[in-house]
Amino acid sequence: MNTVEHAHAEGGCDCGSVRYRLNAEPLFVHCCHCSWCQRESGSAFGLNALIETNQVQLLQGQPVASTLPSASGKGQTVLRCPGCGVTLWSHYAGAGEAMSFVRVGTLDEPASVSPDVHIYTSTRLPWVVLPEGVPAYSGYYPAKELWPEQSQRRFRELKEAAGRGGRS
């Protein structure tokens, strides 16, 4: 994985009302170039660290949830600071609330995280240059081929716990 030690990495919103800590390493980091992420971020891409929601510890404040449309038609739940409105993380229909897509830019040290994969590059902006050595896909990617075994194991455990109603 292209990230440095992130267990206990902290982050938060612009106004400081909401603070959080990651209590585990991210499973994987996506750099998504789809037009939806471009619009939602107001930038060229969205950079998300995937992590189990139970590993995202709120230290201060309480984000508010709202649902945005998504390309899948199933929507995306975003969690934002109620004061400044910064999106801190989101949940997609595939894994639901059990998995958080933490916005890397909200980490205190976002430069310490780099993408493990670039996705939906078919709609990337033409001036974005993809780095050599990082997998890139025109659409989504084969997670079972790219995720480290430890991340795959954690994801299987997450799905199994969700199948038991979240009980461990």
Residue pointed to by tokens 């994801």: 155
State the pTM of this model: 0.91
Instruction: Give alpha helix (H) positions in 42-78.
Output: none
State the residue range of the domain holding 108: 9-163
| 62 belongs to a structural domain | yes
Residue 157's φ and ψ, nearest 5 degrees, are: -65, -40
Cα diameter, the chain: 47
> Is 4 a domain residue?
no
Would you call 31 exposed, middle or buried from its count of C-beta atoms within 10 A (0-12, 13-18, 19+)? buried
> 18-47, pLDDT tens digit by residue?
999 999 999 999 999 999 999 988 999 999
Does a structural domain hold residue 135?
yes
CATH number at residue 113: 3.90.1590.10
Residue 159 covered by a domain = yes
88 and 81 Cβ atoms separated by less than 8 Å: yes
| Residue 128 token pair | 């974005």
Q: What is the per-residue pLDDT across 83-130, written as a single tens digit (0 to 9) for each?
A: 999 999 999 887 889 999 999 999 999 999 999 999 999 999 999 999
Number of structural domains (the chain) is: 1
Tell me the pLDDT tens digit for each residue of 45-57: 999 999 999 999 9
Q: Is 1 contained in some domain?
A: no
